[in-house]
């Protein structure tokens, strides 16, 4: 990495995983510039405002016909291939030569063109970086810059907050938003002289490479933190000579929710479905549940009314997710959720952790049946095999897992915040770049 550029912007140390400490010392970068309308009055000398139609030789889109796909042939790309900001050349589809020849009459992409997602996930741009023959779908716009506009400068602009704000204000359609070509052509771009474009691109490329490296480190650390807990979770239930018993032997009851569609009411008790269970934190989201009448709730069997200490278990679709009921709160649930009520000599938290373990999930995978939506039957759930420990042994394991879980959650929070801050830094740099606020004049060795 050349000296000057990164340090000029206060980004020294991006190669280090402690990037966020540097960012916190440089809050001027993380803070967005004061909002200003894009007009000639607040541009640097020598800059102009141009419409994309004025600086591009071509702005068009791909075929409007859904093609017939083949196992091999000519590469065919859609907006799904540019959602990461780069072209995904691995997950591609193919069309035959006949369709290709017809599509190429409309547009023939080449190296240096910019592809812009205009349907669904809109406003994400990627540069054509391979000299290969391919065709595109209507969900992609193709922009081919004129000589006075660098392809990489256009790419960075299209991925900047300045462009995205304009795109968002021009979206059409209900449900699936889309950008029409005429709207894309009207988007305004701040255009400096070519040497300034080159300096901006050079700075952004170098800084983004450093940011991407720091982000990759944070993502790997996040993955490592999760895997550490999962590894310990597996080991703690493997390492021991405990007697093996069926889950039914450790539970007072194992049942599921009401099999009949429940009546709905404005007032009453919450009724949860699998969609109300957060897969990440294994908690119930009561903010989006409907209610059932008091009369319906009171007629339910007691084993279908969750109590503190019960463990819920998803049995259909996204099966294998446990939820520990830690509070006395009255609600009921659908038949796609099971309920395990442990005996007095069984720790609810220990049972919750065991269901989280790979040993429990392997058994769920082995016994789940069905095609469209696989289901772990109550019979299969009751026959799950697990170690029979004393209550004291269970409590010792819970204490260790609680401590590790707390530490893992703390680490996950740190790394997730780092990733978020790095994305914000990218946006901030892009915003500064296209307002002419990057200090490029002192950069050497250009």
Residue ranges covered by each domain of the chain: 1-37+194-240+391-446, 48-191, 243-388
> pLDDT value at position 175?
66
User: What pLDDT does 3 receive?
Assistant: 44
pLDDT at 166: 93
Q: Measuring CA to CA, which residue among 353, 272, 360 is closest to residue 311?
A: 353
Could you tell me the pLDDT band of residue 38, with boundaries at 50, 70 and 90? low
Q: Does the model's pTM come out above 0.75?
A: no
C-beta of residue 106 within 8 angstroms of C-beta of residue 121: no
Fold match flag (48-191 vs 243-388):
yes
Query: Are 341 and 378 in contact, with CB atoms under 8 Å apart?
Result: no
Fold of 48-191: Adenine-n6-DNA-methyltransferase TaqI; Chain A, domain 2 (3.90.220)
- Cβ(181)–Cβ(60) under 8 Å? yes
Nearest CA to 295 out of 269, 273, 272 is that of: 269
Coil, helix or strand for 211? Answer: helix
Instruction: Say yes or no to pLDDT of 129 above 80.
Output: yes
**Nearest-10 crossing angle of helices 391-433, 161-168:** 90
Higher pLDDT, 229 or 177: 229
CATH top-level class for 243-388? alpha beta
């Amino acid at each position: 990495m050349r000296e000057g550029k990164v340090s000029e912007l206060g980004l020294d140390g991006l190669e280090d995983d402690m990037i966020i400490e540097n960012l916190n010392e440089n809050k001027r970068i993380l803070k967005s510039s004061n909002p200003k309308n894009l007009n000639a009055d607040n541009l640097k000398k020598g800059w102009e405002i141009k419409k994309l139609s004025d600086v591009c030789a071509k702005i068009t889109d791909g075929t409007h016909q859904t093609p017939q796909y083949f196992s091999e042939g000519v590469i065919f790309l859609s907006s799904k291939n540019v959602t990461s900001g780069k072209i995904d050349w691995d997950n591609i589809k193919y069309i035959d030569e006949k369709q290709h020849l017809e599509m190429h009459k409309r547009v023939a992409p080449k190296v240096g063109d910019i592809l812009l997602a205009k349907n669904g996930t809109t406003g994400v741009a990627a540069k054509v970086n391979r000299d290969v023959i391919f065709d595109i779908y209507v969900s992609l716009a193709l922009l081919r810059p004129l000589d006075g506009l660098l392809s990489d400068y256009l790419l960075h602009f299209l991925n900047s907050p300045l462009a995205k704000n304009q795109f968002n204000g021009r979206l059409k359609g209900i449900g699936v938003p889309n950008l029409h070509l005429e709207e894309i052509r009207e988007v305004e771009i701040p255009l400096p002289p070519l040497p300034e474009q080159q300096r901006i691109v050079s700075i952004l490329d170098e800084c983004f490479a450093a940011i991407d490296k720091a982000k990759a480190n944070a993502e790997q650390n996040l993955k490592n933190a999760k895997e550490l807990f999962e590894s310990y979770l597996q080991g703690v239930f493997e390492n021991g000579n405990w007697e093996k018993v069926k889950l039914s032997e450790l539970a007072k009851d194992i049942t599921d929710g009401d099999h009949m569609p429940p009546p709905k009411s404005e007032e009453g008790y919450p009724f949860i479905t699998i969609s109300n269970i957060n897969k990440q934190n294994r908690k119930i989201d009561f903010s989006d549940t409907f209610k059932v009448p008091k009369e319906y709730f009171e007629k339910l069997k007691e084993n279908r009314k969750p109590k503190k200490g019960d463990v819920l278990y998803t049995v259909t679709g996204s099966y294998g997710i446990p939820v520990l009921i830690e509070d006395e709160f009255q609600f009921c649930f659908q038949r796609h959720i099971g309920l395990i009520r442990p005996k007095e000599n069984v720790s609810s938290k220990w049972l919750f952790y065991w269901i989280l373990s790979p040993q429990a999930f392997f058994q769920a995978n082995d016994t789940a049946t069905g095609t469209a939506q696989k289901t772990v039957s109550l019979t299969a759930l009751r026959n799950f095999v697990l170690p029979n420990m004393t209550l004291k042994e269970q409590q010792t394991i819970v204490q260790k897992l609680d401590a590790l879980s707390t530490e893992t959650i703390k680490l996950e929070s740190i790394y997730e915040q780092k990733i978020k801050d790095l994305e914000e830094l990218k946006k901030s740099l892009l915003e500064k770049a296209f307002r002419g606020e990057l200090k490029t004049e002192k950069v050497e060795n250009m």
